[in-house]
A and B are shown apart, each in its own frame.
Chain A
Amino acid sequence: MKNKNMAISIALGLVLGLSAIPTRAEMRAAELRVNGMTCPFCVFGIEKKLRHVSGVNEVEVFLDEGRIRLVFSAENTATVREIENAVEDAGFELSGLSVDVEGTLVEDDGAMVLQAGEASRYRLIERNAGSVQPLSPEAKRRLRAKAAGGKVLVSGEVHSHSDDAPALLVERVEPVKDGRP
């Protein structure tokens, strides 16, 4: 009886312990394009605001190219909305955003979604015959084959980044093994 209670306690402890592990962060890197970054106050202001986005480790500003690169820590909950808000808070608007996101492929109402943490989902899209569309059955099959039931790192450009589930134009997909692609 004592052993049985101990086994239950251990099992309970494991379950509780596992659930306390923070959701695995999923954004690895992002590249922003921002128009009108000319003055150092603006540039370093955007940099300051982006440093407050959860999990941002590095902010690199390429002033001449109007480009900013973000690198995220391994445990983060950053979202596209947060990045967009930070740029707006600095008085600018995003003109483009590309991300590297790690997550799990799931089907949602016929669409393929990259589930990246509890609150972060990306609708995967592709460019087909000159227009942007949901993934074709063939593209979905290829992605599932790459993932092989595990996680993938998807790189691409974010479209309609104001949505709760932003659309991600898939440019590159790599399987993630042992936490690294």
Chain B
Amino acid sequence: MRLYALLAFTALVAVISLAGCSEQVMARPAPIDAWGETGKEPGKLFQPTGIAVSKEGTVFVADTGNDRIEAFDASGKFLWTFGRSGEGPGEFRRPMDIDIDRNGPLYVAELGGDRVQVFTQRGELVRIIRGEGASAGSIDGAAGASVSPEDEVYVADFYNDRVVVFNFEGNYQRVIGVSGRVLPGRLHYPTDLAWIDGRLIVADAYNNRIQVFTPDGEPVSRWGGYLGSGIPGSSPGSFRVATGVATDSAGHIYVADFENHRVQVFDDEGELLSVFGSQGGGVGEFERPTDLDMGPDGRIFVVDSGNDRIQVFEDFRKVGQ
């Protein structure tokens, strides 16, 4: 009962405080390119979900509906593809997310395959991480993956409402977060992971918030809704399903705000810096963006999932300077 009263109070305060923010003028990165076409042929996209850009500028897209990874140059020119539907090594059951570790390999999280497969950038399979033999390390829906600065592999375990940590070789280490709502450390269908200053950022998707943890799993901070409670909303700083998260070299945190059809940018303390995008299929508009990443030159690549395309925005670090 006390919890409900607290929730009602925080919701009221949130509405009052956020009403004043909606008119703030914020710097917005301009859209500079959009590419992608719906289809099954190589180079086309069908329900893409995840993205990662290499330090050389190659854009890797998790072409989820086609069960494959596709590589493009920054202007959208198709380069190569690998993977096909299936459960064998190198095959995919709904690849949702890609991460590139600093040495170059791709980590592909498969929602349907409950595993992370590691590939060279050309698509040669390096190893498979699936938590076999450790019940606590089992995965029910690998929605996102990220390699830590210490070379541990963190996996967003979608249906178990937690993050599972493996060492570089793929041996289970520990879990982060427990299933739940509102309170710090509680997760509800996490989908994506990123790093800032050695801390783990979790897209706590269906809690409509971002949570920050130490690598050992101690909750550090959270935002989205009022005081990070995760009350869904459309005012600046609130989310309706926060599915994707990425960081840049200046310490900015970018969030794909899925059902609000927009991207929000925060500083490393969770202060809102920018909101851009609205629903639609035009330039700078989104139909349910799912993930994003920065190119080596700072350009922002956003998976515009419902439009089967990638949208590119200018470097946010230069906006307003």
The reply to whether A48 and B112 form a contact with Cβ atoms under 8 Å apart is yes
**Complex interface residues of chain A between 18 and 66 (CB less than 8 A to chain B):** 38-41, 43-45, 47-48, 51, 63
Interface size of B in residues (CB-CB distance below 8 Å):
23
With a cutoff of 8 Å between Cβ atoms, the chain B residues found around residue A51 in the complex are 93, 112
Given contacts A38-B288, A63-B47, contact A44 B241 (CB under 8 A): no
Residues of chain A with a CB closer than 8 A to B159's CB: 45, 89-90
Find the B residue at minimum CB distance from A91.
B189
Interface size on A (CB < 8 Å)? Answer: 14
Cβ–Cβ contact B141 & A48, under 8 A: yes
| Complex CA–CA separation, A45 to B64 (angstroms) | 12
Tell me which residues across on chain B come within 8 A of A63, comparing CB atoms.
47
Q: Number of A-B pairs whose CB atoms are under 8 Å? A: 47
Chain A: which residue is nearest B191 at the CB level?
A41
- For A117-142 the 0/1 string (1 means CB < 8 A from B) is 00000000000000000000000000
Nearest Cβ on chain B to A42's Cβ, whole angstroms: 9
Contact A40 B141, beta carbon cutoff 8 Å: no
B140-174 near A? 1/0 per residue, CB < 8 Å: 01010000000000000011000000000000000
B241 engages A39 (CB within 8 Å): yes
> Given A45-B158, A45-B159, does the pair A40, B112 have CB atoms closer than 8 Å?
no
Q: From residue A35, how far is it (CB to closest CB) to chain B in Å?
A: 15
Closest to A42 in B: B189
Closest to B94 in A: A44
Identify 19 residue pairs between A and B in the complex whose beta-carbon atoms are under 8 Å apart, listed by A's number: A39-B241, A39-B243, A39-B288, A39-B290, A40-B47, A40-B64, A41-B49, A41-B158, A41-B243, A44-B96, A45-B111, A45-B141, A45-B159, A47-B94, A48-B93, A48-B111, A51-B93, A51-B112, A63-B47
The chain B residues found within 8 Å of chain A, CB to CB, are: 47, 49, 64-65, 93-94, 96, 111-112, 141, 143, 158-159, 189, 191, 205, 241, 243, 258-259, 288, 290, 305
Chain A residues with a Cβ under 8 A of chain B: 38-41, 43-45, 47-48, 51, 63, 89-91
